[in-house]
Structure 1
Amino acid sequence: MYQVIGTGKSRAMRVLWMLEELGQPYEHIAVNPHSEGVTPFNPAGKVPVLIADGTPITDSTAILTFLADRHGQLTHPAGTLDRARQDSLTQFVLDEFDAALWLAARHSFVLPEEMRLAAIKNTLRWEFERSQHTLVQRMAEDGFLMGERMTVPDIILAHCLTWALTARFPITEHRLTGYLEMMRQRDPYRRALAR
């Protein structure tokens, strides 16, 4: 059984959701970053941490990729053109969505108050909106990011879009609004959210 360390209000939600999609049993240890429950497994104190076969794995994207590869679901095989497209979409979402949201969070409540730059959030919102326009041009016409098959970047994107709503980053592309609604209606998402 897997162990997931981190609260559901963090990027640990991505891992919980992935495990629900895969139908894998797991134990959820809902602890905050930098707490005693995290630092023995990740000296940086960051969550999530996945314990698999007694080994800690850090970074939500690395965990999702590991789980998808290990269970042969929510991914395309390594070395294929579809996997290259999948990895490209993953990197785009991380670079353009996750990074902007994380930087805004750092300047809202993570950094010491004297280090925060409130004005940066306006620039980040502008970049976030621009990135949405680019992403919808790369999305499949229907269904998930790559079409009929849900893959790792779908979980990351849906998590980022949900985070954006909380952070008051507007979702300006109607396709992304519909996409997010579809993703949040999934039973595995709802089970993970209930944790």
Structure 2
Amino acid sequence: MYSVIGTAKSRTFRVLWMLEELGQDYDHVAANPQTESVIAFNPAGKVPVLIDDGTPITDSTAIIQYLADRHQAMTHPAGTLARARQDSLTQFLLDEFDAALWTATRHSFILPEEMRVAAIKNTLRWEFERSQRALVHRMAEDDFAMGDQMTVPDIILGHCLTWALLARFPIVEHRLTRYHDMIRNRPAFQRTARL
């Protein structure tokens, strides 16, 4: 059984949600970043951490791709053009969505107060809205980001859109609003949201 360390109110949500989608059993240790139970497995003190067979794996994207590869689900095979497209979309979401939201979060309450720049959030919101327009042109016409099956980028995008609303970053593309509603109604997402 897997162990997942980190609170569900962080990127740990992605790992928990992936495990729910895959139907895998796991033990959840809802530890905050920088606590002893996290630092014991990740010296940087960051969450999430997945423990598999005694080995810690860090970084939410690395973890969910590992799980997808290991269970041969929610991913395209490595070395295929479909996987290259999937990895490209994953990187786009990390660079354009996750990075903007993470920077805004850091300037809201993570950085020391004297290092925070509140005005940066206006620029980040503008970038986030511009990135939404680019994303809808890259998305498949089917339900999910890559087509008719849920893949790793859907976990990242679904989490980022939820995070955006909590951070008051508006979702301006109707396609993404519909997509987010569909993703949030998935039973695995609902189970994870209750953690």
1:166 alignment counterpart? 166
In the alignment, is residue 39 of structure 1 matched against residue 39 of structure 2? yes
**SS where residue 41 of structure 2 aligns?**
coil
Q: Report the Cα distance in structure 2 between the residues aligned to 1:52 and 1:18, rounded to whole angstroms.
A: 15
Letter paired with 2:155: I
CA offsets per residue over residues 157-195 of structure 1, 9 Å max, x none? 000000000000000000000000000000011111111
Letter paired with 2:102: W
Letter paired with 2:75: T
1:62 alignment counterpart? 62
Aligned residue pairs total 195
After the TM superposition, which parts of structure 1 deviate over 4 Å for at least 4 consecutive aligned residues?
Answer: none
2:97 alignment counterpart? 97
2:156 alignment counterpart? 156
Within-5 A mapping of 1:9-88? 9-88=9-88
Q: Report the Cα distance in structure 2 between the residues aligned to 1:70 and 1:142, rounded to whole angstroms.
A: 25
1:129 alignment counterpart? 129
Q: Report the Cα distance in structure 2 between the residues aligned to 1:190 and 1:171, rounded to whole angstroms.
A: 20
Q: Report the Cα distance in structure 1 between the residues aligned to 2:20 and 2:167, rounded to whole angstroms.
A: 25
Q: Report the Cα distance in structure 2 between the residues aligned to 1:142 and 1:79, rounded to whole angstroms.
A: 24
Q: Report the Cα distance in structure 2 between the residues aligned to 1:149 and 1:163, rounded to whole angstroms.
A: 23
2:181 alignment counterpart? 181
TM-score normalised per structure 1:
0.99
Letter paired with 1:187: P
**SS where residue 133 of structure 2 aligns?**
helix
Q: CA deviation at 1:137?
A: 0.3
Letter paired with 1:90: T
Gaps of 5+ in 1: none
**SS where residue 4 of structure 1 aligns?**
strand
**SS where residue 97 of structure 2 aligns?**
helix
Q: Report the Cα distance in structure 1 between the residues aligned to 2:166 and 2:194, rounded to whole angstroms.
A: 17
Q: Report the Cα distance in structure 2 between the residues aligned to 1:190 and 1:135, rounded to whole angstroms.
A: 25
TM-score normalised per structure 2:
0.99
2:190 alignment counterpart? 190
1:3 alignment counterpart? 3
Q: Report the Cα distance in structure 2 between the residues aligned to 1:194 and 1:165, rounded to whole angstroms.
A: 18
CA RMSD of aligned residues (A): 0.4
Q: Report the Cα distance in structure 2 between the residues aligned to 1:142 and 1:168, rounded to whole angstroms.
A: 28
**SS where residue 148 of structure 2 aligns?**
coil
Gaps of 5+ in 2: none
CA offsets per residue over residues 50-108 of structure 1, 9 Å max, x none? 00010000000000010000000000000000000000000000000000000000100
Letter paired with 1:76: H
Q: Report the Cα distance in structure 1 between the residues aligned to 2:20 and 2:128, rounded to whole angstroms.
A: 29
Letter paired with 2:136: V
**SS where residue 190 of structure 1 aligns?**
helix
**SS where residue 28 of structure 1 aligns?**
strand
Q: Report the Cα distance in structure 1 between the residues aligned to 2:171 and 2:186, rounded to whole angstroms.
A: 20
Letter paired with 1:129: E
